[in-house]
């Protein structure tokens, strides 16, 4: 029994061709995304490696995991990574200030007076730092890297001052060590990326 040949312009063949084309296009698109992801991961790792070698305040593992977790970081160039690190710093500042506020509100009766005083100071420091990081974002966008450097450095000073406040009395344990350290490191990453960026523009 002979099978009838399907005419070349039948709807079935046209649909098959369209599906094949769509499948190829999707495969090509996914492959392109894969290459972008690989390139993005390489840029993040190389940037963090250079940063950690140039600045002892930047830890390689912390830097890579932080930047890799940022949305669209795998598609970003070096300047984009710098902005992402500033945004991560701003998020940490905002989240920590909210955390301090909750500590003061929910534990007023049980907090040691000295610890409460430290938290009050830290709340003010973080509030000022949030204003500073907003200015830093504007400076960075305008390529005013010197101004951004000063503003980011003030954020680092705020975290250090906050942490040191707890250490001034023997036996007092800071409630913000991890948060202060994370914000400090994110700020250090930002400064390092700006230095690399400025060097590449010379």
**Where residue 99 falls among pLDDT bands split at 50, 70, 90?**
very high
Decide if pLDDT at 190 tops 90: yes
CB 184 within 8 A of CB 176: no
What angle separates helix 60-69 from helix 177-201, to the nearest 10 degrees? 80
- CA 201 – CA 145 distance, rounded (Å): 12
Q: pLDDT tens for residues 52-84?
A: 999 999 999 999 999 999 888 888 899 999 999
- What pLDDT sits at residue 17? 54
Mean pLDDT score of the chain: 85
- What pLDDT sits at residue 34? 40
Q: pLDDT tens for residues 109-139?
A: 788 999 999 999 999 999 999 999 999 999 9
**If we measure between CA atoms, which residue out of 162, 161, 163, 151 comes closest to residue 187?**
151
**Where residue 21 falls among pLDDT bands split at 50, 70, 90?**
low
């Amino acid at each position: 029994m002979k099978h009838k040949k399907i005419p070349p312009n039948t709807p079935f063949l046209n649909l098959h061709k369209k599906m094949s084309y769509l499948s190829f296009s999707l495969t090509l698109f996914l492959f392109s995304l894969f290459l972008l992801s690989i390139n993005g991961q390489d840029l993040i790792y190389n940037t963090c490696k250079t940063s950690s070698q140039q600045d002892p305040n930047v830890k390689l593992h912390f830097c890579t995991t932080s930047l890799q977790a940022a949305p669209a970081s795998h598609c970003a160039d070096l300047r984009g990574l710098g902005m992402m690190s500033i945004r991560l710093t701003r998020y940490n500042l905002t989240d920590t200030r909210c955390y301090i506020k909750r500590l003061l509100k929910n534990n007023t009766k049980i907090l040691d007076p000295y610890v409460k005083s430290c938290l009050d100071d830290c709340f003010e420091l973080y509030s000022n730092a949030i204003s500073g990081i907003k200015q830093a974002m504007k400076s960075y966008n305008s390529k005013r890297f010197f101004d951004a450097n000063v503003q980011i450095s003030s954020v680092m000073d705020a975290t250090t001052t906050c942490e040191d406040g707890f250490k001034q009395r023997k036996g007092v344990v800071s409630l913000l060590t991890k948060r202060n350290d994370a914000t400090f490191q994110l700020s250090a990453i930002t400064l390092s990326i700006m230095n690399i960026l400025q060097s590449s523009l010379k």
